[in-house]
Structure 1
Amino acid sequence: MRFLKSAALLAVLTIAAPGVAQNTPPAPLPSVTLPPELDRVLRDYERGWRAGDEAGLAALFVDDGFILQNGRPPVRGREGIQQAYAESEGPLRLRALGFAADDSVGYIIGTYGYGEGDAEMGKFVLALRRAPGGPWMIAADIDNASQMPRRPPAAERPPVQR
């Protein structure tokens, strides 16, 4: 009987052990090398952001492009994009994790951070379009932070309506 209890405890610990490891952050996904015409989109975006050039950033988008930022309403069109990026500047770093491109549509999936080092603050997807023979343009820039927002303490949450 004692053997069965020990075996059962060992089985529970073995099954539970993988759950404990999930509390440690996963290793970063490897970067991918983009074809030059797609890499240009990321590097032009970084340059525009670093310079605080909201007009230059908006020019990277198709006329009816979107930005879908974390915690903000969607913005559509170059004029709105330029306004949304009016306060944007700093040492932005973009890193590609995956991509695909066909004749006139493509995408880049990646991470972003600011400054030097390995800290990545969030993730993005750039949906891309191009006219035949033209450069790749951003149709939609979708980003979100890597950390979940903290839930306010119960005392600060509105009551649940039932």
Structure 2
Amino acid sequence: MDATFWAFVGLIIFLAIVVYMKVPGMIGKSLDSRADKIRAELEEARRLREEAQQLLAEYQRKRKEAEKEAADIVDHAKREAGLLVTEAKQKTEEYVGRRTALAEQKIGQAERDAINEVRAKAVDIAVEAARNVLARKVDGKVSADLFNASVRDLKTRLN
């Protein structure tokens, strides 16, 4: 009996013990459980991937909505600013028009006042000149009557 024979016998006994101890079943169960575990991990990874894609799509949609809202706000602000500028220009033009009209009224009043003052001075000078002329040519009583009549006549004509 040779050493190869005993090695063969040892191998047979080893294989019998392995089969008796149900090692192939344990290995199969271990492999099956490992495959189930890998399958579960793959399913979990697929589920997480789908959730991530849904979250990404939702965030992209929210980002687009936010960008659209921001653009709407900017457009609204531009329109409002344009309206404010237009309104400010209009109010400024109205203010300048009112101030111009007021200034023209004041100038007109000043002109009328100046003309009336010049007329009054002219009347006073004419009356004084008439008094002097009449005083030299006419006696006192006649001169006073003539002067008073002239003043009354001038006052009625001016009014």
TM-score band, normalised by shorter chain:
under 0.3
State the structure with bigger RCO (CA 8 A, min sep 6), 1 or 2.
Answer: 1
- With normalisation by structure 1, the TM-score equals 0.24
Which structure carries more strand by proportion? 1
Instruction: Determine which structure has the larger helix proportion and give its number.
Output: 2
